A and B are shown apart, each in its own frame.
Chain A
Amino acid sequence: MNEKSKPESAIQSSKDASKVIIEINGMHKWFGAFHVLKNINLTVNTGERIVICGPSGSGKSTLIRCINRLEEHQEGTIVVDDVELTGDLKNIEIIRSDVGIVFQQFNLFPHLTVLENCSLAPIWVRNMAKGEAEELALKYLERVQIPEQAKKYPGQLSGGQQQRVAIARSLCMNPKIMLFDEPTSALDPEMIKEVLDVMVELAETGMTMLVVTHEMGFATAVADRVIFMDEGEIIEQKPPNEFFHNPEHDRTKLFLSQILAH
């Protein structure tokens, strides 16, 4: 897409920047009368890692949930991998099968084993043979380092293990984009690292990632770009170094002073 005069589109990934994979233009969303997202413009290139932060209620979760249409936007356009998100159910299903999402509350299927959680979508959405899907599931469970839990049910795992299974479940669909909605916020402190380690490793494979998180260490280490949102608007977006050391807006400064204070 054309480079408009928006300052944010000037910042591009240093890597293979040629291919735009997500293009959001003039997007608005309301919950009833509440204007939750206001004039969102965002371009994401293939392989880019983006961290989205901001105070609670700023609309950051809603923004990434719009990208796989778990939330419906009312105005503007969202184009994901050259497919525009409209009410067309077929398009939505195609986009959802190519965009993985990891939730704060894991949302594993409690009635299925870890292996079944991971192989379910490949079998039923990709029409893969059961044996092949299980092999694939085991491969990704190995990658998140819990193949030995394959036969257990989610309720028998710790929070950190469950979140890693959730990541593996998404990866089994071989997604082009991974969305993370506060993946470590529901975890006990000692389990945060094991999940972040998996995410860092995933970032190193070149996966396009949009991560809503307050883990600033992760942002510094991995992100190509940090986006700060407040009251439904994108206030500022910069590479992490600049974002943390040289924020422009007062609201960004206030937010950073609050989360870095302790």
Chain B
Amino acid sequence: MAEVTRTYKVGQHPDLPPPRSEVGVIGWVKYNLLSTPFNVIMTLLALWFLWSIIPPLFEWAVLDSVWTAESRKACWAKMEVPEGAACWAFIKDRIGLYIYGFYPAELRWRVNLSFVLLVLAIVSVLYENMPGRKFGLWYAVAFPFITGWLLVGGLGLTHVETDQFGGIMLTFIIGITGISFSLPIGILLALGRRSTLPVIRILCVLIIEFIRGVPLIALLFIASTMLNYFLPPGTAFDLLLRVLIMVTLFQSAYIAEVIRGGLQGIPNGQYEAADSLGLTYAKSHLLIILPQALKISIPGIVNTFIGLFKDTTLVLIIGMLDPLGVGRASLADAVWAGLAREVYIFVAIFFFICCFGMSRYSLWLEKRLSTEN
């Protein structure tokens, strides 16, 4: 045997590279796919499963699919096998409805402009390195008011009733309002629950436990039917506004508990260090405690946000048409009926893209905020 081990003087042994079978592609395959006989079998089964699923799905959804047709029948007539592929023409035909709901066609530029403003607001909030971020943050604070005015109208713009809102636009309105308002409210509730003042603590516990203990659907029904009974006559306000308030409150209760978990993960020494420097309660929380607690809570917070975003579909129960509602309504059209698969897949893809985006952002944020080596 050719022994290649070199000898080094004691104290002078250099750092050698690891054996080639331990790193790189070979190492990865060895450890992740073929590490035990059981894993070898699982790897083969997975490959077989993917091979038998993906090509037919790809054919159905992309290769054989029809993108332009007047009706279901015209769609199927274009296929080699009727019903053998996706008929995306149906979605294309209704795309305006999916995006804008019943928003008047000639005013849809206002919605488009709002989408653009939204993208700008999201970028200025989420990307710290953007030039002029300070201005961007102020813009993000003003954004809800600007878009509120753009979408509803008034002050020189034609008024649009909120019951004409629908589709993706409605999902975004509810989802983003819920997300951006529930975080600050949730933080306050979480801090209140840990307060040393009994009145504040008990109040926050009651709010959190009550809202968490009631299904969102029940809260939405309360918003749509009962809320007006509790308010003085003549103060009835918009259904969408009531839904927004309920969704935000519901979300805040969950966020509060997630953040409370994060706060409990902060060692006592951090509070003591902040106190010992003479920082006030507000400053020590804003500068020391919350940045760390929120960082720990990112997975939980994003998890809650994703849950909220998908829960916006529940508004179809009280008669609001989000993308799922639009899809279900369009299936009632005799010209197109029977294309349920296309509708639900389209809606699922829309939600998946949004939620997957949030998930990836949270992973990126966790990585960026990590200060460990």
Contacts and interface: CB of A to CB of B under 8 A. Distances in A.
B128 to A, nearest CB: 14
Given A96-B276, A97-B277, A121-B278, A109 B270 contact: yes
A153 B371 contact: yes
B146 interface: no
11 contacts: A68-B276, A94-B278, A96-B278, A97-B277, A100-B276, A103-B272, A107-B267, A110-B292, A111-B369, A125-B277, A155-B371
Contact of A173 (B269, B274, B278): B278
For chain B, give the interface size range.
Answer: 20 to 34
B295 interface: yes
B265 to A, nearest CB: 12
A105 B279 contact: no
Contacts of B276: 68, 70, 96, 99-101
Contacts, number: 65
B288 interface: yes
B272 A111 contact: no
B286 to A, nearest CB: 9
Given A70-B272, A93-B278, A97-B277, A155 B291 contact: no
A124 to B, nearest CB: 5
Main secondary structure of the interface of B (DSSP, over half): helix
A121 B279 CA distance: 7
B360 interface: no
Interface in B349-373: 369, 371-373
Contact of A105 (B269, B275, B283, B291): B269
Nearest to A93: B278
A125 B373 contact: no
A169 B288 CA distance: 14
B241 interface: no
Nearest to A109: B288
Contact of B287 (A68, A98, A120): A120
A158 B275 CA distance: 24
A118 to B, nearest CB: 10
Contacts of B369: 111
Interface string B156-184: 00000000000000000000000000000
Given A120-B287, A153-B371, A155-B372, A108 B279 contact: no
Interface in B115-143: none
A99 B278 CA distance: 9
Given A111-B291, A111-B292, 4 more contacts: A107-B272, A110-B292, A153-B371, A155-B371
Nearest to B276: A101
A242 to B, nearest CB: 33
Contact of B275 (A70, A100, A124, A156): A70
Most buried by A among B273, B283, B287, B292: B273
Contact of A93 (B280, B372, B373): B280
A103 B288 contact: no
A156 B283 CA distance: 26
Interface of A: 68, 70, 93-94, 96-101, 103, 105, 107-111, 120-121, 124-125, 153-156, 169-170, 173
Nearest to B292: A111
Interface in B234-290: 267, 269-270, 272-280, 283, 287-288
Nearest to A173: B277
Contacts of B269: 103, 105, 107
A170 B272 CA distance: 13
Contacts of A100: 276
Contacts of A68: 276
Contacts of A96: 275-278
A220 B298 CA distance: 50
B270 A156 contact: no
A173 B275 CA distance: 13
A121 B277 contact: yes
Interface in B195-254: none
Contact of B373 (A101, A156, A169): A156
Contacts of A105: 267, 269
B279 A111 contact: no
Contacts of B373: 155-156
Contacts of A156: 371-373
Most buried by B among A107, A120, A173: A107
A103 B273 contact: yes
Nearest to B284: A124
Contacts of A108: 273
Given A120-B287, A156-B373, A107 B273 contact: yes
A120 B371 CA distance: 18
B371 A107 contact: no
A121 to B, nearest CB: 4
Contacts of B278: 93-94, 96-98, 121, 125, 173
Nearest to A100: B276
Most buried by B among A93, A98, A109: A109
A124 B272 contact: no
A58 B274 CA distance: 26
B304 to A, nearest CB: 22
Contact of B273 (A99, A109, A173): A109
Nearest to B286: A124
A89 B270 CA distance: 19
Contacts of A169: 277
Given A68-B276, A110-B371, A124 B283 contact: yes
Interface in B55-84: none
